[in-house]
């Protein structure tokens, strides 16, 4: 790393040279990451294992921009845009390549949420491609013979945790409405890479190593695909080919999503799930054939007068929780505190606590539960919640509020919040934008591999029990056909006065997605950082207890900040597993009236700017 890069990051993000050295060292770039322990139901699970900290520089481009989790996938998206493809076209090509090069995080065996801004129609759409519980699922799905909730790994490894995949149906619907290039052409990059091979990245190899024993225990075909003969992870740089995936993608490219949801592929998926020798699931052919995506209304609110911030509505909790965090912070002069200070970490963590308390009680699939969505982001309600915050003492374990629209008592959720997710942000040359977060849930999903791709374990996003200790019903309990609550928070920001696009951002990271996304928005708005600087900011956060987690080795991981938080009642935990994967694009040019975009920090360098998280292997790139 050059001194110039160190100086730039030190000056703009507050990460000093020593802190960056520690971050790079603790990330473990030279070897596999240690496995992350599985949680019991209700516990927070940190994101995918850390694999290093590689500083990224902001990218500029004149016509379009892609920011996503792997360079090969980004190239596929950029090439599609160069051929005249739309943002949705690029997203499809990206997802197919990510299925191959980042299989631990997302793929056609999982689901996704996508915000799409149609510039020509001046309309924002929310596409819900979330998995659903099988029609034979019951509230006791994850209750063992002893009457107690199963341990996490007992639930996830095998067929029991597999929900009906949704991403392909959702992408097909979005393409029909907004695509420009032929559907079949969008699969070419992933098919070519599957047949010709690609070099396993350091991150993919480390991720395999973290779960190698579990992969081996599940047997073929995953064991021989990911592991060497001795059971160790295939090393970074190993050429990997996946002709089975190529055949699967070719069938979908030719016959559409029906090739996946009906016929031989569907039969193989169901056979894998229902025929698992020790942990069979309930997915059936009717579940696949009957899956439909949902087109929902985005959830939006104005922040600091200038910005209209929009996110994904339920069944994701991400959009509401991000907007609640911002709405609570409206009552404070956050800009005056500066980032990476004790007061800023304390204040933002307290806002998170209040948002997560409401999330745990109220948010679930709105087709099954009446979610008080408008009340949760009501400005007056959030002002009342903000009054609970003291700058001298933490709230500790927060209580949920009573927003307008609540009509009965709900129980506290106890679902584990597991990641394995990825995010992409895209804007095309027509000004249409995509912010899409896509997932198979835990790392490598359920570990069940079919026809070259992995199946999700999304059902473990439900509460493992249907009622809490007081006997109150839990909103996010298992029900047939229901979509499990998510924390995914794809976000698009607009100029509140004019409605013009300003930026798109989002992240993987389990329940911490909310914190990562909010942090970056605060960086770009209150603290005036560019998109890359905002992504670089140290991660920290809190949820539904007195624990405040801070990114180990970062600027905020100092004795002064740790002791200052403890003096205010926080229980402080240092973690090297705050592995966000933020990817963002912003309008960086000048409008027709000669004014710069609200998030433009270097107007003239390019029409668009893009940033990628230094904690993962993604990049940002566009066409000039």
Is 544 annotated in the active site?
no
Residue 42 is predicted with a pLDDT of: 34
What is the span of the domain harbouring residue 428? 31-295+415-539+578-621
> Which pTM was predicted?
0.92
Residue 409 is predicted with a pLDDT of: 64
How many C-alpha atoms does 246 have within 13 Å on its Cβ side?
A: 14
pLDDT at 10 over 70: no
Q: Is residue 130 part of a domain?
A: yes
If 0-12 CB within 10 Å is exposed, 13-18 middle and 19+ buried, where does residue 212 land?
buried
Helix, strand and coil percent figures for the chain, each rounded to 5: 35, 20, 45
Average pLDDT over residues 142-171: 94
Which tokens go with 182?
């032929």
Q: Is residue 552 part of a domain?
A: no
Per-residue confidence band for 578, with pLDDT thresholds at 50, 70 and 90: confident
Q: Is residue 348 part of a domain?
A: no
Q: Is residue 40 part of a domain?
A: yes
pLDDT at 34 over 70: no
For 40-52, the pLDDT digits (tens) are 333 334 445 666 7
CB atoms inside a 10 Å sphere around CB 548 = 27
Residue 51 is predicted with a pLDDT of: 64
Per-residue confidence band for 64, with pLDDT thresholds at 50, 70 and 90: very high
Q: Is residue 360 part of a domain?
A: no
Average pLDDT over residues 181-196: 98
Q: Is residue 387 part of a domain?
A: no
Tell me the C-alpha distance between 559 and 98, whole Å.
40
* Cα end-to-end span (Å), the chain: 27
- Which CATH number goes with the domain that contains 504? 3.60.20.40
Q: Is residue 375 part of a domain?
A: no
pLDDT at 454 over 80: yes
Q: Of residues 325, 421, 525, 579, which has the active-site annotation?
A: 421
For 353-362, the pLDDT digits (tens) are 999 999 999 9
Which tokens go with 267?
């039969």
Per-residue confidence band for 470, with pLDDT thresholds at 50, 70 and 90: confident
Which tokens go with 222?
């995953």
Annotated binding site for L-glutamate: 130, 461, 486-487, 510
What element of type H or E holds 65?
A: strand 65-68
For 300-325, the pLDDT digits (tens) are 999 999 999 999 999 999 999 999 99
Number of domains the chain contains: 1
Judged by DSSP in three states, 497 sits in coil
Q: Is residue 562 part of a domain?
A: no
């Amino acid at each position: 790393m050059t001194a110039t890069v160190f100086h730039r990051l030190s000056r703009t993000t507050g990460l000093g040279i020593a802190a960056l050295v520690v971050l790079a060292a603790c990330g473990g770039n030279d070897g596999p990451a240690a496995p992350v322990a599985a949680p019991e139901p209700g516990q927070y699970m940190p994101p995918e294992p850390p694999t290093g900290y590689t500083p990224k520089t902001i990218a500029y481009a004149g016509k379009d921009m892609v920011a996503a989790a792997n360079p090969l996938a980004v190239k596929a998206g950029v090439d599609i845009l160069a051929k005249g493809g739309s943002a949705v076209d690029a997203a499809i090509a990206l997802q197919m390549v990510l299925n191959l090069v980042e299989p631990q995080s997302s793929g056609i065996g999982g689901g996704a949420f996508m915000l799409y801004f149609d510039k020509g129609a001046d309309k924002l759409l929310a596409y819900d491609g979330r998995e659903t519980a099988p029609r034979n699922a019951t509230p006791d799905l994850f209750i063992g013979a002893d009457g107690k909730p199963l341990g996490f790994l007992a639930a996830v490894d095998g067929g029991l945790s597999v929900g009906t995949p949704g991403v392909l149906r959702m992408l097909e619907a979005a393409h029909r409405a907004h695509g420009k290039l032929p559907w079949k052409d969008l699969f070419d990059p992933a098919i070519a890479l599957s047949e010709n091979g690609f070099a396993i990245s350091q991150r993919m190899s480390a991720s395999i190593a973290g779960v190698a024993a579990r992969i081996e225990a599940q047997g073929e075909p995953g064991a021989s695909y990911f592991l060497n003969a001795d059971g160790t992870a295939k090393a970074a740089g190993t050429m990997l080919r996946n002709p089975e995936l190529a055949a699967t993608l070719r069938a979908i490219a030719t016959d559409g999503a029906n090739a996946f949801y009906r016929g031989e592929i569907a039969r193989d998926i169901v056979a894998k799930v229902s025929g698992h020798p020790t942990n069979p699931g309930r997915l059936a052919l009717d579940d696949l054939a009957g899956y439909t995506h949902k087109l929902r209304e985005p959830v939006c609110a104005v922040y600091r007068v200038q910005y209209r911030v929009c996110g994904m509505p339920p069944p994701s909790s991400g959009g509401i929780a991000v907007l609640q965090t911002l709405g609570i912070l409206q009552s404070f002069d956050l800009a005056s505190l500066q980032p990476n200070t004790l007061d800023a970490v304390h204040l933002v963590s307290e806002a998170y606590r209040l948002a997560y308390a409401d999330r745990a009680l109220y948010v679930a699939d709105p087709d099954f539960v009446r979610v008080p969505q408008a009340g949760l982001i009501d400005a007056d309600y959030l002002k009342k919640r903000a009054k609970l915050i003291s700058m001298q003492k933490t709230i500790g374990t927060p209580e949920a509020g009573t927003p307008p629209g609540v009509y009965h008592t709900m129980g506290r959720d106890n679902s584990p919040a597991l990641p394995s997710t990825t995010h992409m942000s895209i804007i095309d040359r027509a000004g249409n934008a995509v912010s899409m977060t896509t997932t198979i849930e835990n790392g490598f999903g359920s570990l069940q591999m079919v026809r070259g791709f992995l199946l999700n374990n999304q059902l473990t996003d439900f509460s493992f029990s249907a009622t809490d200790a007081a006997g109150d019903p839990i909103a996010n309990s298992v029900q047939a056909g229901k979509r499990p609550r998510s924390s995914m928070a794809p976000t698009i920001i607009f100029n509140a006065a004019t409605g013009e696009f300003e930026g798109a951002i989002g992240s993987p990271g389990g329940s911490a997605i909310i914190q990562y996304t909010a942090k970056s928005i605060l960086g770009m708005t209150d603290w005036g950082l560019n998109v890359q600087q905002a992504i670089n900011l140290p991660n920290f956060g809190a949820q539904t207890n007195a624990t405040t987690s801070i990114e180990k080795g970062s600027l905020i991981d100092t004795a002064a900040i740790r002791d200052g938080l403890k003096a205010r009642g926080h229980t402080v935990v240092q973690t090297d597993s705050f592995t966000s994967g933020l990817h963002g694009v912003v309008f960086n040019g000048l409008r027709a009236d000669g004014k710069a975009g609200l998030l433009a920090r270097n107007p003239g360098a390019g029409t668009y700017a893009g940033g990628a998280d230094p904690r993962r292997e993604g990049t940002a790139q566009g066409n000039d």
